[in-house]
């Protein structure tokens, strides 16, 4: 299954190391937290975001808070060299906390846990793409679907979306 993954770390070497460990994944890397935040606003949601905590400007904790305002279901993993931020990381509902010195050993284990978590979530969401944008609706929020002229209109609590297809 393809997941949208982002990494934000002011040290490019750690972005590259994560990409090397998760070889089969498409990963968007950012060395600046504001660029990462802009990408979330422009491109849409990510399934998983790996964040460094100690970054210039907007730090990883602040970035996590802002991202979660737009998407409370995103999985955030803090990857940092500073253990003293661990408690704060969990205050923003981090999925895991990984020390950079343990990246090679810990990331495959965490990635396995993430895949299990996402598999469970995917069963509860209706996900589709329309006009190069990914949309995700909780099944419990969908009121009904209607089909009109090869378009499906999804009616959810507080929202309506259109996608191409049929209800066959």
Rounded distance between C-alpha atoms, residue 88 and residue 65, angstroms: 11
Q: How many CB atoms lie within 10 A of CB 67?
A: 24
The pLDDT value recorded for residue 99 is: 93
Per the rule left: phi > 0, alpha: psi between -120 and 50, beta: everything else, 105 is alpha
The pLDDT value recorded for residue 71 is: 83
The pLDDT value recorded for residue 135 is: 80
pLDDT, tens digit, 9 for 90 and up, residues 88-106: 777 888 999 999 999 999 9
Chain center to CA of 78:
13
In the predicted model, residues of the chain with pLDDT beneath 50 are none
Tokens of 110: 């965490």
Chain center to CA of 109:
18
Rounded distance between C-alpha atoms, residue 45 and residue 73, angstroms: 10
Rounded distance between C-alpha atoms, residue 29 and residue 56, angstroms: 16
Q: What is the DSSP letter of 102?
A: G
The pLDDT value recorded for residue 1 is: 58
Confirm if 79 and 22 have CB atoms less than 8 A apart: no
Integer Rg of the chain from CA: 17
Confirm if 155 and 145 have CB atoms less than 8 A apart: yes
Confirm if 40 and 63 have CB atoms less than 8 A apart: no
Which residues on adjacent β-strands are paired with residue 30? 8
pLDDT, tens digit, 9 for 90 and up, residues 48-73: 999 999 899 999 999 999 999 888 88
């Amino acid at each position: 299954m393809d997941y949208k993954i982002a990494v934000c770390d002011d040290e490019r070497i750690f972005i590259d190391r994560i990409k090397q460990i998760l070889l089969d994944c498409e990963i968007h890397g950012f060395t600046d937290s504001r660029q990462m935040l802009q990408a979330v606003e422009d491109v849409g949601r990510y399934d998983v975001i790996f964040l460094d905590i100690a970054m210039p400007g907007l730090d990883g904790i602040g970035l996590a808070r802002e991202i979660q305002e737009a998407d409370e279901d995103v999985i955030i993993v803090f990857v940092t060299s500073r253990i003293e931020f661990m408690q704060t990381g969990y205050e923003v509902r981090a999925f895991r906390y990984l020390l950079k010195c343990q990246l090679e050993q810990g990331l495959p284990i965490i990635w396995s846990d993430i895949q299990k978590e996402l598999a469970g979530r995917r069963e509860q969401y209706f996900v589709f793409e329309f006009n190069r944008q990914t949309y995700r609706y909780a099944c419990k929020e969908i009121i009904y679907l209607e089909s009109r002229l090869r378009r499906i209109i999804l009616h959810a609590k507080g929202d309506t979306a259109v996608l191409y297809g049929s209800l066959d």
